Amino acid sequence: MHILSATISSRDTVVVTFDGPADAFDAKTVTFSPPLKVLDSTPSGHTLLLRTEPVPLTRSHTVVVRGVGSAPLIPDGVLNEFYSDKPLGCIPERGRYTFRLFAPRASAVRLFLYRSLDDLEGTAFVLERDTDGVWEVAMPIDEADRYYAYSVDGPHGEGEMFDPRLRIADPYSLAVVTRNDFIHEGRTLLPTHIPPFDWGDDRRVCIPLRDLVVYEVHVRDATAHPSSGVDPARAGTYLGLAAQGVRGGVDSFRSLGVNAVELMPCQHFASIEPPYQRVVGGLFNTWNPYERNHWGYMPSYYFAPEPTYCTGSSLVPGGWNDTGARQVTEFKAMVRALHAAGIAVILDVVYNHTSQYDRQPLKYIDRFSYYRSDLRGQWTNASGCGNDLHTERPMTRRLIIDSVLHWMREYHVDGFRFDLAALIDQETFRQIAEKAREEFPDVILIAEPWGGGSHDMRRFSTLGIASWNDIFRNGVKGVHPVQSPGYAFGTWGWNPPEAFGLWMLGSTEPFGGPLLDAAHSLNYLAAHDGYTLGDFIRIACGQAREHEPVSDPNRHAALDGCALARARMAFFLLLVSQGPIMIQQGDEFGRSKVIAPRRDRHVVAGILDGNSYEKDDETNWIDYGYQDANENLREYVRGLLAVRRRFRQIRHADPSRYRFLKPDVPVASGFLIENGEGDPEDLAVLVNANTENPAHFTIPPGEWRILADGERVSVDGIGIAQGGEVTVPAGTAMLLVRGGAPQDELFYDADTAR
């Protein structure tokens, strides 16, 4: 017999679980160290329920069962009993600061105020605890004080991380100064040192989900490369994205025809990882020779913008990255510029886990309050990132919701994409949706609907939340460029012909999908994970090989005949599908990620990179030479986006208006969208993914204007076809319209915003 777990389920209840029946145990066979009085016991199956005197949560305990052994007593359900509505963080009001920190099991909390970063000691103040676990102190504002940090003491048993010697920044920090090493020591900038921002007439951009054209963008990568044309002082920054008349800036987004940008993580994250192949602090980095986390999926502070994306940021090793509050004002300036162009701003947020190696404050405030643990109190790692947030805890849930509302109110963002959303519980998502919509009814909410082995798009659909649709991605593009390319390459792969309707009509339940509405299906071909679309296609078409260096970079850049045709086919399918769509920046011109040479790193240069999370260099920076080499592809995508805007029925037609066509060759599909109220035209979508034979489609009689074929596209038409039998060449597609008159193009200017 062994003890599987021992948990504190409430303030006076302990539950001990065994790997066998618990009948032989009672209050007389169980003791605690330090001593804890047991009042009575109830065995049930493999568990023993113990009613005790109130358990002191500021101390660690061990449960000892006679004849079996011992186990650490882990706080669990008892932590769900703590909740407070008090404002947290540092609140300036009426000439005074009030500091509040939620730390329900702490035995002591001290505040340190600093006037400069050279001040190593600071001025200490003692906080007092209320009954809900909130520690608080108030004092007059002294403008000479600039930064603050906390120390937190508490239980020191197995699995605990309380350490009164450490100074940690506030989890509700609005801006943080950090040291440039993997420990990421932080001090919070006092809010009176954050200047006000003039938003002018800025308003959020209102875009219905079905009309969304999302552009996934990494702030630094978009303009860091010299080919972007951005002023070097602003390259790779928030202001770089706001720059006009350059590639990678706001004008290029507008020119392409997207109406929303999805910014990869911009919440202050741990950008530096432990030294490579050296043991430091018990860590041995064998996985990351670059010692960086470039993508940002290691959040440290959920209310503060990432400072390395602002001008003047410094990464001098060991030094402080003190940007004042420029990251705050420059992020706002970027949002204001995007809104002025009619482009919504969506933040990619990571509320399923936090940074792993640094002084992420939640770990040192109370890891059991904020993080999930297994039966023995060890970290769970369903996220694959070393830790998982315990989103069911009321105060962790509150922190997430507070963060979402903060970015909406303080930064005017229009929506959120939730990383590994399957790891966030449904009640938290219900409250996020409810409170975010109270703030802004048209808020955009998108889930990455998997994580930790779970994949459930439907649960988000029930809340009106869209999901990244990997059913579309895997079916159309494929899972692997060699082993399982998708329909765009002329193969059904593992998909039956019926899957065409599943892909094209938003993966809804009537077509065998999980979603309740096509508006919840965010269709895409590629994202930051995995190969770029261009590299996937290059490998699938034999223009490049996995794990082999690119021999001729100039020849590699331009997509060859096969690759260009497959790219056009993939984008055609994406842009005639129902549901919001997403394009990874650069995929519209065949961007490639070729590992850049680095003398100071143990890397093999020249190979295509399918997981470039750690590379802050030319591997990730977008080289707009690819746009020059593949301008024809970009213009094709740009034209398809214009057609999608012009013809509303592509995005909004009821499924009853679709009539699927049966051509005469396999791996070819098509459909008609018949006219309806407000849509006087009929549309014909004819897709011949068969790479060997032409396909013949029968469409209704009359004169049809050809809007797109395998090489050209125009909203005004590129030719005329007569109804009856229409031939579509091998490996191409065709879009035709009959009747009606051209509609006004649909743009989302500031005039459409609330």
Query: In 451-577, which ranges are continuous DSSP H helix?
Result: 457-461, 470-476, 499-504, 533-540, 553-557, 561-575
Q: Residue 745: is its pLDDT beyond 50?
A: no
Under a CB-based contact definition with an 8 Å cutoff, are residues 460 and 421 in contact?
A: yes
Helices (H) and strands (E) in the chain, counts: 16, 38
Q: Residue 751: is its pLDDT beyond 80?
A: no
Question: Tens digit of pLDDT for each residue in 199-222?
Answer: 999 999 999 999 999 999 999 999
State whether residue 537 is helix, strand or coil: helix
How far lies 422's CA from each of 351, 352, 456, 514, in Å? 11, 8, 7, 15
Angle at 493 between CA 489 and CA 494, to 5 degrees: 155
Question: Tens digit of pLDDT for each residue in 93-109?
Answer: 999 999 999 999 999 99
Q: To 10 degrees, what angle do helices 561-575 and 631-646 make?
A: 20
Under a CB-based contact definition with an 8 Å cutoff, are residues 241 and 249 in contact?
A: yes
- Residue whose structure tokens are 């991380």: 161
Question: Tens digit of pLDDT for each residue in 432-486?
Answer: 999 999 999 999 999 999 999 999 999 999 999 999 999 999 999 999 999 999 9
The pair of three-digit structure tokens given for residue 270, joined into one six-digit string: 């741990």
Residues 453-457: contacts with CB under 8 Å, at least 24 apart: 453/382, 454/422, 454/423, 455/422, 456/422, 456/514, 457/507, 457/513, 457/514, 457/515, 457/520
Asked whether residue 38 is domain-assigned, the answer is: yes
Taking the C-alpha atoms of residue 552 and residue 540, their distance in angstroms, rounded to an integer, is: 18
Under a CB-based contact definition with an 8 Å cutoff, are residues 674 and 689 in contact?
A: no
In the chain, the amino acid numbered 503 is W
Task: Give which of 719, 742, 751 is closest to 643, Cα–Cα.
Answer: 742
Asked whether residue 71 is domain-assigned, the answer is: yes
For 740, counting Cβ atoms within 10 Å of its Cβ (0-12 exposed, 13-18 middle, 19+ buried), the class is: middle
The pair of three-digit structure tokens given for residue 282, joined into one six-digit string: 């018990």
For 475, counting Cβ atoms within 10 Å of its Cβ (0-12 exposed, 13-18 middle, 19+ buried), the class is: buried
Question: Tens digit of pLDDT for each residue in 664-707?
Answer: 999 999 999 999 988 899 999 999 999 999 999 999 999 999 99
In the chain, the amino acid numbered 282 is G
Asked whether residue 540 is domain-assigned, the answer is: no
Task: Give which of 443, 412, 342, 344 is closest to 746, Cα–Cα.
Answer: 342
First to last CA, the chain: 64
The pair of three-digit structure tokens given for residue 681, joined into one six-digit string: 């035209």
Alpha carbon 208 to its chain centroid, in Å, reads: 20
Question: Tens digit of pLDDT for each residue in 587-618?
Answer: 999 999 999 998 777 788 999 999 999 999 99
Question: Tens digit of pLDDT for each residue in 214-273?
Answer: 999 999 999 999 999 999 999 999 999 999 999 999 999 999 999 999 999 999 999 999
pTM above 0.85, yes or no: yes
Task: Give which of 112, 127, 115 is closest to 166, Cα–Cα.
Answer: 112
In the chain, the amino acid numbered 209 is L
Taking the C-alpha atoms of residue 27 and residue 83, their distance in angstroms, rounded to an integer, is: 31
Under a CB-based contact definition with an 8 Å cutoff, are residues 266 and 499 in contact?
A: no
The pair of three-digit structure tokens given for residue 421, joined into one six-digit string: 């959303």
The pair of three-digit structure tokens given for residue 159, joined into one six-digit string: 């699995």
In the chain, the amino acid numbered 606 is G
In the chain, the amino acid numbered 389 is L
In the chain, the amino acid numbered 7 is T
State whether residue 731 is helix, strand or coil: coil
Task: Give which of 573, 583, 537, 543 is closest to 688, Cα–Cα.
Answer: 573
State whether residue 510 is helix, strand or coil: helix
How big is the chain by its Cα radius of gyration, in Å? 28
Asked whether residue 125 is domain-assigned, the answer is: no
How does the average pLDDT of the chain come out, rounded? 95
Under a CB-based contact definition with an 8 Å cutoff, are residues 188 and 176 in contact?
A: yes
Tell me which of 528 and 677 has the higher pLDDT.
Answer: 528
Phi, psi of 334 (to 5 degrees): -65, -45
Under a CB-based contact definition with an 8 Å cutoff, are residues 246 and 270 in contact?
A: no
The pair of three-digit structure tokens given for residue 359, joined into one six-digit string: 């002084």
Q: Residue 743: is its pLDDT beyond 60?
A: no
- Please list the residues that pair with 99 across neighbouring strands: 90, 137
Phi, psi of 38 (to 5 degrees): -100, 125
Asked whether residue 26 is domain-assigned, the answer is: yes
Asked whether residue 146 is domain-assigned, the answer is: no
Taking the C-alpha atoms of residue 384 and residue 381, their distance in angstroms, rounded to an integer, is: 5
Taking the C-alpha atoms of residue 177 and residue 116, their distance in angstroms, rounded to an integer, is: 11
> How large a percentage of the chain has pLDDT more than 90?
93
pLDDT band at 754 (very low <50, low <70, confident <90, very high): very low
pLDDT score, position 281: 83
Angle at 511 between CA 509 and CA 515, to 5 degrees: 30
Average pLDDT over residues 335-349: 98
- Please list the residues that pair with 706 across neighbouring strands: 719, 736
- Residue whose structure tokens are 């339940």: 509
pLDDT score, position 740: 73
Query: In 630-693, which ranges are continuous DSSP H helix?
Result: 631-646, 649-652
Structural domain including 37 reads: 3-77
Asked whether residue 16 is domain-assigned, the answer is: yes
Domain count along the chain:
1
DSSP character for 23? T
Average pLDDT over residues 279-301: 94
CATH number for the domain that contains residue 52: 2.60.40.1130
Under a CB-based contact definition with an 8 Å cutoff, are residues 125 and 96 in contact?
A: no
pLDDT score, position 468: 98
The pair of three-digit structure tokens given for residue 180, joined into one six-digit string: 């440039």
Under a CB-based contact definition with an 8 Å cutoff, are residues 185 and 178 in contact?
A: yes
What's the per-residue H, E or C state across 315-334?
CCCCCEECCCCHHHHHHHHH
Sequence-ordered list of residues with C-beta below 8 angstroms from that of 246, at least 6 positions apart, any chain:
223, 228, 229, 230, 252
State whether residue 124 is helix, strand or coil: strand
Taking the C-alpha atoms of residue 664 and residue 372, their distance in angstroms, rounded to an integer, is: 56
- What is the number of alpha carbons within 13 Å of residue 66 lying toward its C-beta? 8
DSSP structure string for 175-241: SEEEESSTT--EEEEPGGGS-----TT-------GGG-EEEEE-HHHHHHSGGG---TTTTTSHHHH
Alpha carbon 374 to its chain centroid, in Å, reads: 25
Q: Residue 159: is its pLDDT beyond 50?
A: yes
Asked whether residue 35 is domain-assigned, the answer is: yes
